[in-house]
């Protein structure tokens, strides 16, 4: 549970910071080439704020962990392109890229060990 809280905090704080700096976040996503950066920003905020809350609560832990792992890998590849960074930013981008890959690994571990939830029509 402590591990889920710590990982959840990382994403929750990032999501809150995106809310507080909404226009800057929209500009950043626009600079990455996303169409409709306002929509992308809202979706990312929903994932980064809502995802960790559900993750800490243990809701649908297996599929949620897989979703968060995919999101984290995509974030690494899209936002932390160390291979294209200028020399002054190379080290930071490299560290952030592999931090995200490591966090994705933690999400996949949680998905592997989480109990399977089975829903039936009867409840």
Which pLDDT value is given to residue 92? Answer: 95
- Same domain? For 8 and 38 the reply is yes
- Same domain? For 45 and 74 the reply is no
DSSP string spanning the chain?
-HHHHHHHHHHHHHHHHHHHTHHHHHHHHHHTT-SSHHHHHHHHHHHHHHHHHHHHHTTTHHHHHHHHHHHHHHHHHHH--GGGS-HHHHHHHHHHHHHHHHHHHHHHHHHHHSPPP---TT-
- Same domain? For 48 and 77 the reply is no
- Same domain? For 35 and 68 the reply is no
Which pLDDT value is given to residue 117? Answer: 66
Enclosing domain of residue 36: 1-55
- Same domain? For 8 and 48 the reply is yes
- Same domain? For 112 and 64 the reply is yes
Which pLDDT value is given to residue 118? Answer: 61
pLDDT along the chain (123 residues), means of 10: 93 97 96 94 97 94 96 95 94 96 97 76 49
């Amino acid at each position: 549970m402590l591990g889920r809280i710590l990982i959840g905090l990382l994403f929750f704080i990032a999501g809150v910071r995106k809310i507080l700096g909404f226009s800057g976040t929209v500009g950043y996503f626009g600079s990455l080439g996303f169409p409709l950066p306002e929509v992308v920003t809202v979706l990312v905020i929903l994932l980064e704020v809502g995802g960790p809350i559900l993750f800490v609560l243990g809701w649908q832990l297996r599929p949620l962990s897989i979703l968060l792992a995919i999101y984290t890998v995509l974030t690494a590849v899209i936002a932390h392109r160390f291979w294209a960074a200028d020399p002054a930013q190379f080290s930071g981008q490299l560290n952030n890229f592999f931090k995200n890959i490591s966090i994705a690994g933690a999400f996949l571990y949680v998905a592997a060990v989480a109990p399977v939830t089975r829903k039936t029509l009867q409840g």
